[in-house]
Amino acid sequence: MRVLERLRLQARLPQRIKVDNGPEFSGNALDTWAFEHGVQIEFTRPGKPTDNGHIESFNGKFRDECLNQNVFLSLHDARRTVEAWRQDYNQRRPHSSLGWLTPEEFRETNITCNPLETTNLQVVYAVG
């Protein structure tokens, strides 16, 4: 909810968020917050990870390339390491699904409206 609140303060809320049925997404706090801010929560079907295949793929990359490759000595160390990986993944690494552009390059070449008007985009935040 901290990430969503940060987005709200930047006027960058998505219209909907697709989530699995984990306890972190099925509580009253998120449901109430989403309702109050006009954000639709869309749940995947139980036992159907293919409903959200792109995030399942991301989670596998994150686990293989970051979590399984590092030993975290403290919470601060874990946050620093994960943030460095996130920055690399989002800003420096080309993605095949984006025509081998980095997400930053893709965003810069494909924004045709005010970048603060993101209500028509489906936004997925897995690490933040």
CB-CB neighbours of 17 under 10 Å: 19
Q: How does residue 126 score in pLDDT terms, banded at 50, 70 and 90?
A: very low
CATH 3.40.50.1820 fits 2-110, yes or no: no
Per DSSP bridges, beta strands 16-19 and 40-43 are parallel
pTM for the whole thing?
Answer: 0.61
Residues 53-104: tens digit of each pLDDT: 888 888 899 999 999 999 999 999 999 999 999 999 988 999 888 899 988 8
Backbone phi, then psi, for 42, in 5-degree steps?
-110, 115
